[in-house]
Structure 1
Amino acid sequence: MSRTVGRIINGRETSDGEGVKLKRTIGGQLEVLDPFLLLDEFKSDERNDYIGGFPSHPHRGFETVTIMFNGYMEHQDHKGNKGLLTPGSVQWMTAGKGIIHSEMPKQEDGLMHGCQLWLNLPREFKMMEPRYQDISPEKIPNIEENGNKIRIIAGEYKNITGPVEGVVTNPTLLDVELAPGQSFTEAIPIGHTAFVYVIRGSATFGQDDESKLVKSSQLAVLEDQDTRNNVQAVAGPEGVKFLLAAAKPIKEPIARYGPFVMNTQQEIQQAFRDYQSGKF
């Protein structure tokens, strides 16, 4: 049986960093979708929409996932780590106890397009050592069938496992492209929070008369029901590209302020003190 679509959230235009224009779903109208904290899509071929980038800023208590579709973004942190995000690449950063980093465009013009997703960490892992998983396109399994393309970033699809390792919320993250009229089905663990975000085109999600149309820049929450663990999609006449994300909910209190996500306000205040005193 297929999961049904609950809420459909329209991406709202906003900006972050130094004026980077983006569309926000989670973290905006939908405040939290446990364990997901934020989902932004940035897409523009106007340099002024992205050239300011995201100068140096801190994080603590969660993970960020940056998925690049087009363009080049350089990452640097306060410990001297540096990396380049290229078309098709993914960076999975665990901020843990604290990281100070920047994400800046490495292009002067042309299309910049990608998504950033934030995942919460459980209390016992919030102060873990920071780490990165920088994943080049060739390390991401890509299944092509019937004109469809499914990239497995995290989790499994058809018994093939994605390259992301050691994430405590046991996530599934698939980058799915379907040809016009083609279908897609995948099982999601019962109890896991799941959503789809449509990047291009449209598709119906759900089964038969329960299916709902989801369009570009919309996020659909896939309801968790005890006997329904499949995701079913049928692409519209122009085809579709979407992200499918699922993960185990944490079910803990969330205290959040700017770049810090902890369990209590006291921990947020401590994060600010540690950052300001150079303890990151």
Structure 2
Amino acid sequence: MNLTALRNTGHTRQISHRNSGSSHGPIVRLMSPSDFGQLLKPFVFLDLFDAPSSFLGQMPVHPHSGIATVTVITEGNMHFDDPDAGSGTIGYGGVEWLRAGAGVWHGKELSSGTSARVQGFQLWLALPAELESAPVDSQYLEASATPQVGPARVIVGRYEGVQSPIRAPAGVNYLLVTIPAGESWTYTPPKGHRTLWLCVSRGAVHTPDKIESGEMVVFQPGHQALTLEAGNRDAVFVLGSAFPHPYDLKLGYYSVHTNDEALRAGEAKIAEIANRMRQQKTARQASASIPVFK
């Protein structure tokens, strides 16, 4: 399908916002809860990382509450090791899911794999009220366990009748897509998914407007399908769609909740875990082990 035909499909949802983010070393921050997260909630945070695999060893142990983090790999691989969820390798199409819920400290469960470099995305999802204070839930899927529909890996949610094994709340889709050079693909959001965005990690796509590598775009709210065409090389991107999150975002430093009371409880739980870590001296051990502190 050429760009003229793409314009004539009627699947040309208008882009409302573009962002190339801000760099912090090997990480590009594309969305935070205080900016695009207000438009796209429950999607509230997005980082694109591209670095030597050794940078994973520099990640500090840090807390979260009220959210789920979703890490997907677009190039290279990582090793995972979690006392509750096993060990293995996450490559292209693999995923780490961590529902922080009531509160968690983590940061050492992922380490260098066999590749010299690694590229991928970390996304935060604001949890609904019934899950924001729930127990911690970790899942790791190797690529072979991530279902695929055409060029799309279903990381979170349900697409074209295929359900991701990730235990995410309903009403959210998150896909990892590779479109071969010169080919096109159409995404039809499930009914009620008015929020839609994507971010390209390699190559470029046309809507027909061009979206470059490293760029995130937000589409006008609506229900229309979206047709995308790759440029002169394979295009790799993540795409999210969802029911709008009906809550205001109550923000802590590493936390997002639906109300002030839940935020206070989450931050208190984070502090209690930190105190327990100090008492048990596990914070020092974390530099050599691979814990998730609950």
TM-score (norm 2): 0.78
> Is residue 2:122 matched to residue 1:127?
no
Measure, in 2, the Cα distance between the counterparts of 1:169 and 1:10. 29
Cα deviation 1:114-166 (Å, max 9, x = unaligned): 2110000122321112112221111112345xxxx32222334443333224x
Answer yes or no: is the 8 Å Cα contact 1:75–1:102 preserved in 2.
no
Residue in structure 1 matched with residue 42 of structure 2 by the alignment = 35
Query: What are the within-5 Å matches in structure 2 for residues 241-260 of structure 1?
Result: 241-260=236-255
- Which runs of structure 1 show a deviation greater than 6 angstroms over 4 or more consecutive aligned residues? none
Q: Check conservation: 1:40, 1:115, Cα contact below 8 A.
A: yes
Give the aligned length.
259
Cα separation, 2, equivalents of 1:272 and 1:157:
35
Judged with a 3 Å threshold, the aligned counterparts in structure 2 of structure 1 residues 75 and 13 are, in CA distance, closer, same or farther, namely farther
3-state DSSP class of the match of 1:138?
Answer: helix
Indicate which of 190, 214, 220 corresponds to 1:217.
214
Hey, what's the Cα distance between the residues in 2 that align with 1:215 and 1:195?
Answer: 14
Matches within 5 A, 1:6-155: 6-15=16-25, 21-27=26-32, 30-32=36-38, 33-45=40-52, 47=54, 50-69=55-74, 70-74=76-80, 76=82, 83-88=87-92, 89-103=94-108, 104-107=110-113, 110-144=116-150, 149-155=151-157
SS of the residue 1:38 aligns to: strand
Indicate conservation of the 8 Å contact 2:103/2:267, yes or no.
Answer: no
1:268 to 2:263 alignment: yes
SS in 2 for 1:152: strand
- Partner of residue 18, structure 1: none
* 1:84 positional shift: 4.3
Structure 2 CA distance for aligned equivalents of residues 109 and 156 of structure 1: 30
Q: Which amino acid aligns with 2:166?
A: V
**CA-to-aligned-CA distance 1:96-115 (integer Å, 9 cap, x gap):** 11122123423597102221
What SS does structure 2 have at the residue aligned with 1:124?
coil
Q: Which moved more, 1:34-43 or 1:128-137?
A: 128-137
Assess if the C-alpha contact under 8 Å between 1:51 and 1:108 holds in 2. Answer: no
Pick the aligned partner of 1:237 from 211, 232, 237. 232
- 2:53–2:113: 8 Å Cα contact kept in structure 1? no
Specify whether residues 109 and 156 from structure 1 end up closer, same or farther in structure 2 by C-alpha distance, changes over 3 A only: closer
How far apart are residue 31 of structure 1 and its match?
4.4
Q: CA RMSD in A?
A: 2.5
Instruction: Give the C-alpha shift of residue 63 in structure 1.
Output: 0.6
Structure 2 regions of 5+ residues with no counterpart? 1-9, 277-293
Identity %: 22
Instruction: For 1:192 and 1:220, locate their aligned partners in 2 and report how far apart those are by CA, in whole Å.
Output: 15
Distance 1:163 1:54, change over 3 A: same
3-state SS of 2:31 partner: coil
The code of the aligned residue for 1:170 comes to G
